[in-house]
Chains A and B, each alone.
Chain A
Amino acid sequence: MKRLPIIFIIFTFAAIFMLNGCEGEVCPPNAMAYAKFTMVNQHGTAVAPTVPTSIIGQITTDVTVYDTLDNGEIIERIVEDSIISDTLINKESKMSTFKVPLSYSDETTFIISYDGEQQDYITIKHRNIPYFMSVDCGTMMFHEATEVTHSYGIDSVVIVNPNIDNYEKENFRIYFTVSDTQ
């Protein structure tokens, strides 16, 4: 029992060490939620456009604008059903998957532009889920995809996982018909 004081001291310093070691915030690595798309052929094999491809996000919403009158007065005006476009990916080559953010609207359209020559579009209807996890990490916006439509250049779009949050996973699979010689 002569070792008792030593045991106490060891326990004490171990406790202090552990207390210091436990101080730290654990926030998710991705504060943004991205929808991940995979492009595949009719056999389910990944394919990539042969030309540089851009993804343009588009929403329709009311926009507040400020007009300056001749007398210098500034007036606020709401322009209803304005189309807002945002280039999310610009001319990327050999892109068989891509990740893009959905909007805070209830519908987001993605225009797939093949080197500015041809275009396809995918429209996703979604439910937005504001989310709080920690006062130190801030708030995040997650989404749940409810419906997807597309242009005729695309065979089909399948919702693989409707939950779009800060855990990266395949959410949508875009099927193209590609001739077997390509």
Chain B
Amino acid sequence: MRKKTSGYILQCLILSSLLICPLYVFAQDKKDKEKTEKVKLYQGITAGVEIAGLGNYVLGSDILSSEVMLQANFLNRFLPVVEIGYGKVNTLSDATDIHYKAAAPFFKIGADYNFFHNKPHLPGYLFGGIRYGFSSFAYDVDAPDMTDTNYGGQIQVPFSYHGVNTTAHWLEIVGGMKVKIYKGFCMGWSIKYKKRLSYTKHANTEPWYIPGYGENAGTGFTLSYHLMYNLPF
């Protein structure tokens, strides 16, 4: 249920972005010939917030993950970005009766490249980029007592680990689109391919959920949906 809710919300958000497509059709009525002009180095800063994770949480997901971003624009082509977010999970599995809890901030730094840098008349652009992310957090795991299924089932071992400290590092390869919706306001979605670099191992547990990264697999995909505002300076 946790995952399905997340999937449906993101799919709705992405499909809604298709409504923007007609804007591009109108925009293409302009001549595509862009005059080669001297482009200013500094083109501005965009602030944004990721809302898909917030939406999932409001609609009942056990996982909250959201982030704010600040992105500079150089030459309308290079877009360095800093993202600071917060990830929280408090879940109890119906199948295994295991309770997992973690909450921590996460940080990402990277840059995007505007593939349509020479088409500034368009109301949006496609981009690709890369991020380095890390999070330092502690988690709690509580599980039912472990019973030996052999040897008469006489021995039981409790399972409870609290405050397990972990640091995780990962890389993200990002691709997506950004479109203007009204004056300085923009929206955009992106696909992120995540590759875990490392995490602190503990003798008895490993983190199931990493704030900012998601479920602790070697690789994975995430979809994000941002609302952004181009700051007036």
Interface residues of A (CB under 8 A from B): 1-2, 4-5, 7-9, 11-12, 15-16, 18-20, 22-23, 26, 32, 57, 59, 61-64, 84, 86, 88, 101, 103-105, 108, 128-139, 141
Evaluate contact between B24 and A5: CB separation under 8 angstroms: yes
| Contact residues in B for A103 (Cβ distance below 8 Å) | 148, 150-151, 155
| Chain B interface SS verdict (over half) | mixed
* Pairs A-B, 7 closest by C-beta atoms: A104-B155, A104-B148, A5-B21, A135-B93, A132-B205, A138-B96, A84-B152
Evaluate contact between A19 and B7: CB separation under 8 angstroms: yes
| Contact residues in A for B32 (Cβ distance below 8 Å) | 1
Q: Pull 15 A–B residue pairs with CB atoms less than 8 Å apart, ordered by A.
A: A4-B24, A15-B14, A19-B10, A19-B223, A84-B152, A86-B150, A104-B157, A129-B204, A130-B159, A132-B98, A132-B208, A133-B208, A135-B93, A138-B98, A141-B148
CA distance A138 to B96 in the complex (A): 6
CA distance A129 to B223 in the complex (A): 37
> Which residues 12-36 of B have a CB within 8 angstroms of A?
14-15, 17-18, 20-22, 24-25, 28, 32
**Chain A proximity of B17: nearest CB distance (Å):** 7
Evaluate contact between A139 and B7: CB separation under 8 angstroms: no
Residue of A nearest to B10 (CB): A19
| Contact residues in A for B22 (Cβ distance below 8 Å) | 5
| Contact residues in A for B157 (Cβ distance below 8 Å) | 104, 128, 130, 141
- Is there a chain A Cβ closer than 8 Å to B95's Cβ? yes
**Chain A proximity of B48: nearest CB distance (Å):** 18
CA distance A16 to B12 in the complex (A): 10
Residue of A nearest to B164 (CB): A132
Evaluate contact between A130 and B204: CB separation under 8 angstroms: yes
| Contact residues in A for B197 (Cβ distance below 8 Å) | none
Evaluate contact between B96 and A63: CB separation under 8 angstroms: no
| Contact residues in B for A88 (Cβ distance below 8 Å) | 150
Evaluate contact between A132 and B3: CB separation under 8 angstroms: no
| Contact residues in B for A15 (Cβ distance below 8 Å) | 14, 189, 191, 223
CA distance A64 to B153 in the complex (A): 11
**Chain A proximity of B195: nearest CB distance (Å):** 14
* Given A9-B18, A130-B146, A61 and B95 contact (CB-CB distance below 8 Å): no
CA distance A84 to B177 in the complex (A): 65
| Contact residues in B for A2 (Cβ distance below 8 Å) | 28
Contact of B154 among A57, A84, A128, A130 (CB under 8 A): A84
